[in-house]
Amino acid sequence: MTPKERAQKSAAAMWADDRASAWLGMSIDEVDEGTAILSLTVQDHHCNGLGICHGGITFALADSAFAFACNSRNQSTVAQHNSITYIAPAQQGDVLTATAKEVSLTGRSGVYDVTVTTQTSTVVAEFRGGSRSIRGMLFEE
């Protein structure tokens, strides 16, 4: 199995039980070893009292991209810590894309950066996540 095939199979196994990401309206656009791209169209119910995309929705999209990237090797992995910096607001109708990339993987700990952009390439947020692998796999190899 190639690394990309493993990443795709890992993502399919995770997605089958990821009701939160699906409920929020996310889709997986691409996965590979140590990377993932997810997207979401900002709907009315994603907007806060100021009429812009709620920061929690942006964070959730970035966090999900991070999760699919750090689980791409079929090793169960969870978030150890993460942070986000909001750069620009997203509006209803915007298509947000979260691109997660592995920065470092040493032993059981990884570092991933996620950039969230709009359909016009406006950077909405920068997210950094630290991962920790745990026992188990997403599927039997």
Instruction: Give which of 57, 54, 46, 62 is closest to 115, Cα–Cα.
Output: 62
User: How far is the C-alpha of 118 from the C-alpha of 135, rounded, in Å?
Assistant: 36
What is residue 70's predicted lDDT score, i.e. its pLDDT? 97
Give alpha helix (H) positions in the chain. Answer: 3-17, 19-24, 55-70
How many Å from the N-terminal Cα to the C-terminal Cα in the chain?
Answer: 9
Provide the residue-wise pLDDT of the chain in tens; the chain has 141 residues. Answer: 999 999 999 999 999 999 999 999 999 999 999 999 999 999 999 999 999 999 999 999 999 999 999 999 999 999 999 999 999 999 999 999 999 999 999 999 999 999 999 999 999 999 999 999 999 999 988
If you search the block for the tokens 């915007």, which residue do you land on?
Answer: 94
User: How far is the C-alpha of 8 from the C-alpha of 26, rounded, in Å?
Assistant: 16
Please name the residues in contact with 18: beta carbons below 8 A apart, sequence gap of 6 or more.
64
User: How far is the C-alpha of 37 from the C-alpha of 27, rounded, in Å?
Assistant: 9
Question: What does the domain layout of the chain look like in residue ranges?
Answer: 3-133
What is residue 44's predicted lDDT score, i.e. its pLDDT? 96
Report whether 22 contacts 12 (CB < 8 A): no
User: How far is the C-alpha of 65 from the C-alpha of 14, rounded, in Å?
Assistant: 12
Helix, strand, coil abundance in the chain, percent, nearest 5: 30, 40, 30
What is residue 100's predicted lDDT score, i.e. its pLDDT? 98
Any idea which fold 3-133 has? Thiol Ester Dehydrase; Chain A (3.10.129)
pTM (two decimals): 0.95
